Structures are given as C-alpha cells and as structure tokens.
Structure 1
C-alpha cells in the first residue's frame, strides 16, 4: 500500500471515529430504538457539512478524492473538532491549515511562572507573529516596560525599525536589525498570503525606509546563537548570551533568555 493510500485510509478512519463519538441528541436528531449506528450516520454528517452523502462516503472509504480547504472547514465544524484535531485533519488531507489555526498565541500561567522563575535573567516569549506575548520583570528593566506598550510596540520588527529610541540601545544595530529581518523573512515564506503578515510588511515599508530597502534583498537566516550587546541608560553597555528555544507543547512559541556574559553580581539587573 502506497503512502497516499495509507494517508487516505487514515483520513477515512479518523473521520469515522469522530463521527461515531458524537451523540445525535447534540444535534437535535431523534434516535429510534432500532437505530443501529452509534453516533452520527454518514448522511447526517454530510448534511451538516453541506456535502453529498456519496462524496462523504467515498472520503471515509479512502477513495482518491481531494477535499478543498472549504470542505475541511465544514467537516471540522460538523464533527466539532478541536484545534489539534483540525490540524490533524488538514495534515491528512495534505492542506496547509489556515493561519489562525496554526498560530499558538496563548501563554499558559505555567509558562509565565517559568519566566518569573528565570529572574534575574531577562526572558521573553514571542509568538508566531513576532509579538512579545509574555515577559518577566528583568526583561522590562533591560529593554523597556512591555506592560506600557501597545500590541504594535511589542512586535519585534516594529520596535527594531520604527521605534525611534530602539537603535540607540543596540551598539551593533545594523547587524542585529539585518539578522532579525532575515529571520523574519524565513517565517514570512511559510505564511505568504496571510493577511496579518502582508499587512505588517506593508506597514513597515511605509514607516521605515531602511526596512523597505533591506526587504528587497531577500536575505534568509535561521535563529543564530551568539551574544547581544545592549546599551542600558543606567548600567551602560551590557553583553549577553542570547539563547532561544521552541516549546515542545507549543511549537509556535519561542522562549528567549538573556544570560549576562559577566558575573551576575556585576549586572544586578533586578536592582535597576
């Protein structure tokens, strides 16, 4: 059995399992004592999703048919699939999920506690749209009070290219800014056509001539390890090892920790 055939068979089995776990009563469907199907019937799912019964039956049987994104969305609603189940459905059907479905932008309380426990090391969590979603107090003392920033000001690209005081805080701003833009370009390539990314790029082009010029270079870069120098208004120039990692349970979220390159007692960021 080829990979495509196995995938279609798995898709059909998944749909059937989801269908049989649903109660007809949840949909206002009255069950007679002689009803033989546990859960919903194929024709009932097809009707809820706005599909023909024959076409849906072929899908469950693993026939060589290609459901569209609209069909998958309708099936997801009809079968009341959660986010992870929807992602699995799109994967089996070989479709890229909608961006809002892919993006994990919720920071659980346990992750915030993790950031707080990382004190006095400045630490942040960024989401798939390059927004800072969570932070600890040391991060605010190092790069600015995220509590007082609006959503746009918390965006890494916006701060780097538009916020007027930000370049002054980075002694190697051109190098750091080009690196960040190249990393963002990698993300952009995975989300071409997504309205949010397109809107951000156009807004940055309008607000920053530097961004507009560099954007045309099409430089691409993964997240590099290394040091980051920051010019602090009180402590002067500081140097940090910057470590970034994704979370296994939340692959859309990235944790970044700044570790002082000089002894911690010499930095004492928590006392700034």
Structure 2
C-alpha cells in the first residue's frame, strides 16, 4: 500500500494538497464517520472504558492498515500527501456508503479508482424488456436481492411489492419473514439456504458497505433460521435453476429461472426470467396477473 510516512521533522509537504478549508472539512468528516461506528460493527472487542463514542483513531488505523500517527495527522487536517490506495482502505474501515466514499475522495482531491457500479435504478429499455416477457414473470434483482423492477406477472409469485416499504422489497427478507412469497415458494426451506450462500458469496465484494451490513443485521435479528444458515458459512455464486410456486387461484407452477446480467461482471444487477418447465405450467402462466 502506497503512502507517505510521517517523519520526525513533520509531514512531507505536497504542493497539490487540498486547500486548508477542504482539509479541515475532510478532518471533520473523518471524525464524524469514526464516531458513529461501534467496535462490534467491525469485529473489534470492547476493551476498557471509552471517553468518546465510536472507534478510536488507532482502531481505524489498524483496520485500514496505516500508521496511527499518519491517520491522526489526516484527521487533524494536516498538509500530508495521501494515495488513492490509502483513501480506499480508510473508506472501507469507516464503512462508507457510495455517496460518503465519493465525498471522501472529493475532499481529498483524488479520483476514486473503484467508483460505484451497483445498479440502483432501471432504465426504460430494461423496463420494456420486462413488459415484453409477459406472460412469464420477470424482475431485475441486484446482488443483495433487492427487487429493483418487475412485470405484472412477477407479483403473482412474490405478492404486491408496491404495497411494501422500500426496504422490505428484498427477496431475502421476504423468504425469512412471513410473506406471500414465502407461502408461494413450495421448497422455501431449501431455497433459502441457497439464497444465503449466494448472498454470502456476493457480500465478499461489499462487506464494508452500510446497506449490506444493515440488511445482514436485520435478517440476523429477525430470523433464527437465517442466523443458523449464516453460521454455516456456505458460499455459492448466483446462477440458474428451477423453482416451484403454489399460486393462489392459479395452481402449482414449475418454473425454470434464467439470469441475464445487466453489467460487465456477475456482481451487477440481473434480469431474472421465470419460464415454464412443462406444458401444464405454460398454460397456468396465462392465468397470472396482467396488471401491476
């Protein structure tokens, strides 16, 4: 990891360092982010009596693998040189979300080498594809299992997502808490284990992001079944397969599901299409909802 090491004579001067006002803003921002994090959130033990909230500076330095003196000077707004590698490490140590991470790099006057790539919105072209998938259920889901968009037929197998709070429009949450989706998913116990393994596999690239940690904490608190599955440490990559749904007023559907990735890597959002596994299911799919 590349960084400038403090010396006994003081920080190394840098003609391109941010202006004083920006450095002071950076210092205040780092302190505020550090003070909101508990040791338990980052896997550190509670030791001794703490006079201030959140993490200590030396703990942030430890998590980011940088020198304590160097990090202290950074948080004091001193004129020191900082590499993008170090900013990346600090951002991860402080559990910054994409907006906070971008703000950190802006205040430091640096370009983020790993900008956010996760899809949080779905464009008109993808929505048109979802509509054209009818009568087959289809949805766009991100690596965290948030449902970002869907066609009317998809509500037949997961329920009325529009009636749910935004944070509950997540297949993991619906599978581990009482819901229409859990009732309709015939093999839900087996399917949940697969989802947890895929969630853990995807979380390796997102373990420092607050949205992922918040969902994980919610699931562990809400469901002993999720906690048990999580503790098994199984890992899978997202893929294709077959699911069975018992849809009220329609019948038993045997569905093959296929993932179409919407980004250059598998961690991006994906369009999932549910197609009939047999002729009986093909006929039943015509009875799924036609209006969202």
TM range (shorter): 0.5 to 0.7
CA change 1:191–1:183 in 2 (3 A) is: same
Paired residue for 2:286? 268
Following TM superposition, by how much is the alpha carbon of 1:55 offset from its aligned partner in structure 2, in angstroms?
5.0
Please give the secondary structure, in 2, of the residue aligned with 1:222.
Answer: coil
Which residue is 2:193 aligned to?
A: 178
Q: Is the 8 A contact 1:241 1:259 kept in 2?
A: yes
The equivalent residue for 2:263 is 248
Aligned twin of 1:90? 113
* Residues matched between the structures, number: 212
Q: Secondary structure at the residue paired with 1:241?
A: strand
Contact residue 142 and residue 269 of structure 1 kept, 8 A: no
> Cα distance 1:113–1:52, how it changes in 2: closer, same or farther (>3 A)?
same
Structure 1's unaligned 5+ residue stretches are 5-41, 60-64, 92-96
1:190 corresponds to which residue?
A: 205
Bigger radius of gyration among the two: 1
Pairwise CA distance, 1:143 = 2.1
Counterparts of 1:204 and 1:259, CA distance in 2: 29
Query: 2:174 matched to 1:156?
Result: no
Cα distance in 1 for partners of 2:222, 2:104 equals 42
- Residue 273 of structure 2 is matched in structure 1 by 257
Contact 2:136/2:285 (8 A) holds in 1? no
User: What SS does the corresponding residue of 2:238 show, helix, strand or coil?
Assistant: coil
- The question of whether the paired residues in 2 share the 8 Å contact of 1:46 and 1:52 is answered with no
Q: 1:245 to 1:76 in 2, by over 3 A?
A: same
Match status 1:136 vs 2:165:
no
Shift of the alpha carbon at 1:191? 1.7
CA contact (8 A) 1:162 1:208 kept: yes
TM-score (norm 1): 0.65
TM-score, structure 2 normalization = 0.61
CA distance in 2, matches of 1:152, 1:46: 38
Q: Give 1:109 deviation, angstroms.
A: 1.6
Higher relative helix content: 1
CA contact (8 A) 2:18 2:109 kept: no
**Match for residue 87 of structure 2?**
68
1:110 aligns with 2:125: yes
Which whole-Å CA distance do the structure 2 matches of 1:143 and 1:164 have between them?
8
The residue number in structure 1 matching 2:34 is none
Deviation (angstroms), 1:247: 1.1
Q: Is contact 1:45-1:78 (8 Å) kept?
A: no
Distance 2:104 2:221 in 1: 40
1:147 to 162, 172, 195: 162
RMSD (CA atoms): 3.4
Conservation of the 8 A alpha-carbon contact between 2:153 and 2:289: no
